[in-house]
Amino acid sequence: MKLTKYVPVLAAAAALALPGAALAQEEAAPAVSDEVVWILNSLLFLIGGFLVFFMAAGFAMLEGGLVRSKNVTMQMTKNVGLFSLAAIMYWLIGYNLMYPLGDWAIEGWFSGLFPSWGVLEPVYLNDEGLAAADDAGYASTGSDFIFQLMFCAATASIVSGALAERIRLWPFLLFVIVLTGFIYPLTASWQWGGGWLSEAGFSDFAGSTVVHACGAAAALAGAIVLGPRMGKYKDGKVNPMPGSNLALATLGMFILWLGWFGFNGGSQLAMGSAGDVADISRIFSNTNMAAASGAVSALILTQLVYGKADLTMVLNGALAGLVSITAEPLAPTLLLALIIGAVGGAIVVFTVPLLDKMKIDDVVGAIPVHGFAGIWGTFAVVLTGGYHGEAALGTQVLGMVAIIGTTFVLSLIVWFILKAVVGIRVDEESEVNGLDVSELGMEAYPDFSKG
């Protein structure tokens, strides 16, 4: 006789008869060990780091699609160079400057230029278990280093697109060395390194100001010193200079959107509990919602304002939504995330023309996307109180003024020094022929426009 069909009934009866046994079994469930938490946290940083690294491809594709064909190879060269130099400078100086771990030269302000050469000394889990780990209460130093490096490199990528089509290669790379080795780690240490802004209560979860507005401030300083492209502003008019490949630019935007899940999700900095994983999933959802609403906001507004939808504005609208939610992707509801992202998309539509009126030439819209939307996102933290529930408007303003102001002033000084010492702009003939020819020695593209 087969009893299979009676098994569910018997199981239910046993559960009713022995509730105490089931409860005791549940209470006896072992807690997750410190070693497992350490492994999961390290894994979060590694996966998040891989995703943010892929954003380097997104920046390259976006910029390559938005510049003219005679400058595409130059943009690719700049992006490979800036990322590689950022990796070296962050190891050499930036990492220890940004994370002094209490070892401040000037308490809360400056850790001193202590070399980071000792980062990643060989340390392994052995028979002693977690006691032999390099950061037993958090995650592996290697995973933390690679994750934080990607944020540093992203800051430099923001500058690359804004100054495209007229800046010389080597002066740009010299600026990247200063930005990634000194300026960004210094201002970031004030917040993420436990410095004075962190103590004051400034709240920036994943870097709307610390990363994005910082990069935009450096780009703004460079754009002012460098000047606009030839023919961009003439006879009181703004002359459009369409990009070479909007399909490539669209691919770049989607790659950045994907990478942002690592950017914001990894900034949870913990994956060792069910609560942490639930928070990460919430961050993913809010991040995605803000990007979507930013794109839709820009799509609708360009139709209303200009009578036609504008793809470049839509691409930047999505990115502005992402930047806007980055300061606080955990606390908002999905509805509030939608609103935050939509405002970010609207900001781009109205601030791109504003920069043109000021004759500040930003080729890819990096300053509106990362700067103005970053400022809005940092303000928006007050709507939820931030991840500690205590963010105040005055403190948020203080943090933005400190980081953006310091970055702008220091960058302005560096740009002026580079301009005086080595020169930062190509000559008129080189700009007309394209930087691929003048800076990289490539053959000139044929001009098919004349038949």
DSSP string, 403-438: HHHHHHHHHHHHHHHHHHHT--B--HHHHHH-HHHH
- Say which CATH number the domain at 44 has: 1.10.3430.10
Asked if residue 13 is part of any domain, the answer here is: no
Lowest pLDDT segment from 27-41, 175-189, 278-292? 27-41
State how many domains the chain has: 1
Asked if residue 94 is part of any domain, the answer here is: yes
Question: Chain-centre distance of CA 285, in angstroms?
Answer: 17
Q: How high is the pLDDT of residue 136?
A: 72
Q: How high is the pLDDT of residue 449?
A: 43
Identify whether the C-beta of residue 402 lies closer than 8 Å to the C-beta of residue 263: no
- DSSP codes of every residue in 166-177: TB-HHHHHHHHH
Asked if residue 405 is part of any domain, the answer here is: yes
Q: How high is the pLDDT of residue 23?
A: 43
Spatial separation of the C-alpha atoms in residues 448 and 451, rounded to whole Å: 6
Asked if residue 382 is part of any domain, the answer here is: yes
Asked if residue 14 is part of any domain, the answer here is: no
Asked if residue 399 is part of any domain, the answer here is: yes
Between helices 169-178 and 72-89, what is the axis angle to 10°? 30
320-371 pLDDT, tens digit per residue, is: 999 999 999 999 999 999 999 999 999 999 999 999 999 999 999 999 999 9
Lowest pLDDT segment from 132-141, 208-217, 308-317? 132-141
Asked if residue 146 is part of any domain, the answer here is: yes
Lowest pLDDT segment from 265-274, 382-391, 422-431? 382-391
Question: What is the arithmetic mean of pLDDT over 89-114?
Answer: 84
Q: For the CA atoms of 244, 248, 253, 255, what is the dihedral angle to 10 degrees?
A: -150
Global confidence as pTM: 0.88
Mean pLDDT over the full length of the chain:
88
Domain that holds residue 412: 34-117+130-257+279-445
* pLDDT above 70 (res 15): no
Q: How high is the pLDDT of residue 444?
A: 59
Asked if residue 265 is part of any domain, the answer here is: no
Q: How high is the pLDDT of residue 385?
A: 78
